[in-house]
Amino acid sequence: MPSSLRRFAQSLILCAACSALVPSSAFGQSLKEQLTGTWILVAWTRVVAGVEEPGMMGRDAIGQLMLAPDGHMCFNAMRSNRPKFGSRDFQPGTPEEKTTAYDGYVGYCGRYEVNEQERTVVFQLTLSSYPNLTGTAQKRFAEVTGSRLRISTAPIVSGGKEIVNVVIWERPK
């Protein structure tokens, strides 16, 4: 291959690699346009007093986030090893089974609004597996890079420690 053609091919490869690192907003998409669609959970961690540790669903959590163009949203995540109930019936379960199922799952749905300047999204929750979140507004910071979405909370004080939840999502292939 002639050296000029090889340099041209290398330049194309470099441009393609760099464009994957550039936020989609650089290509004219709004944050809302970047967020719209389905996302699959890649990682959920929390930073507690400056130390990263697994999020509330563990290291191998699974989940989906769906953000519709009309402003509706739905989030669901669970522990990947969540045990099944002993009975095949839908409602029955021992108190222990129900507690384990509740502790291993989180979900909420409602509407969402995007603030382009702040690069935030606010989830207005109309229902939630955790009753205290129903009817609340949950503000998150959002950053899209290529096919990845990073959503994080503002610092939250819990148990006397500052916590930041960080959730990484990826568009399904």
Q: Is residue 69 part of a domain?
A: yes
Predicted confidence (pLDDT) per residue in 49-58, tens digit: 889 999 989 9
C-alpha distances out from residue 22 to 28, 95, 125, Å: 12, 49, 31
Q: Is residue 1 part of a domain?
A: no
Number of domains into which the chain is organized = 1
> Distance between CA atoms of 115 and 66, rounded to whole angstroms?
18
Predicted confidence (pLDDT) per residue in 121-148, tens digit: 999 999 999 999 999 999 999 999 999 9
> In CATH, what number is assigned to the domain containing residue 128?
2.40.128.280
Q: Is residue 137 part of a domain?
A: yes
Predicted confidence (pLDDT) per residue in 31-66, tens digit: 999 999 999 999 999 999 889 999 989 989 999 999
Q: Which domain holds residue 121?
A: 21-170
